[in-house]
Amino acid sequence: MAQAKLNSKVMSILEEKIKLIHTEEGAIYLVGPVQLPVNLYGETVTFHWYCWLNCEEVTEDFERIIDKLSSVNLAEMQQSSVLAYGDFENGDDAIIRMHSICHTGDIFGSKRCDCGYQLKESMKMIVEHGTGALFYLANHEGRGIGLFSKALAYILQENGYDTVDANHMLGFVNDSRNYDDAIRVLHALREKPVTLITNNPKKIEALQASGLPVAGRKQLWGDVSEYNKNYLETKINRSGHLNEDGTCCND
Ligand SMILES: [Zn+2]
């Protein structure tokens, strides 16, 4: 498309689907909703999909931002997104999942972790509940260490290190995930309380610390196999995850 400037018709279509969210470092541009029909366990379910982009430039003139997109190679730095379901803004009782991206688990169906199962299962819980959202956090690969480092950590794990020790040996803290942007986006989409789908108290703490009214917690366990048994036990014993009785076993 040999077009230097976006025409006004294109801008008028896009403008009303973009929202500016101020952050400490600049801005988040949230685009959506896009109607997204999804194959969920053989049934077609339509979600309202949003995607967001962090940017240093803060402007209500979205044409300035769109103009820059073709030159910044966004595919090299993955963006995060949200699948909302039902009346997420106004529904009284919504459940949400903050899902950390897992290339191996979510895409390939790796059984070394329970991420793929948790992704599909939380989507199903949201649909069955009637109102909710799944936040898919693209900068959380390997608890924030990135995919390449995760491959290295897996090799260490194959040689006897647990998930926490493997990350430490590579010079990473165990968990460097940050939920600030996701929380900002959540605030932009909904102000009412939410119930979290999680086994991880740190997620509850992060959301509560941001001033978000958390109504409760729903647990999500399952898909235990010989391949991920050690991984799941480490989550409970070393990473502060709650076990199925809701007790925190952090050391
Ligand atoms: Zn995973």
The secondary structure of residue 78, as a DSSP letter, is P
Confidence at 249, pLDDT banded by 50, 70, 90? very low
Confidence at 244, pLDDT banded by 50, 70, 90? very low
Cα-to-centroid distance, 104 and ligand 1 (Å): 6
Confidence at 45, pLDDT banded by 50, 70, 90? very high
The pLDDT of residue 2 is 41
Query: What is the strand order of the sheet 18-22 is part of?
Result: 18-22, 27-40, 43-55, 80-85, 132-137, 94-100, 194-197, 214-218
Confidence at 178, pLDDT banded by 50, 70, 90? confident
Q: What's the whole-number mean pLDDT along residues 203-231?
A: 77
Which positions are catalytic?
A: 175, 177
pLDDT tens figures, 83-123: 999 999 999 999 999 999 999 999 999 999 889 999 999 99
d(CA 57, CA 63): 12
Average pLDDT score, the chain:
87
Cα-to-centroid distance, 122 and ligand 1 (Å): 14
Q: What's the whole-number mean pLDDT along residues 236-241?
A: 65
Domains of the chain: 8-239 (3.40.50.10990)
Confidence at 233, pLDDT banded by 50, 70, 90? confident
Could you give the 3-state DSSP secondary structure of residue 87?
coil
Could you give the 3-state DSSP secondary structure of residue 213?
coil
pLDDT tens figures, 66-89: 999 989 889 888 999 999 999 999
d(CA 94, CA 38): 20
pLDDT tens figures, 162-173: 888 998 999 998
Cα-to-centroid distance, 35 and ligand 1 (Å): 27
Q: Please give the structure tokens belonging to residue 113.
A: 């972790």
Cα-to-centroid distance, 119 and ligand 1 (Å): 10
Residues with CB under 5 A from ligand 1 (ion): 102, 105, 113, 115
Cα-to-centroid distance, 197 and ligand 1 (Å): 16
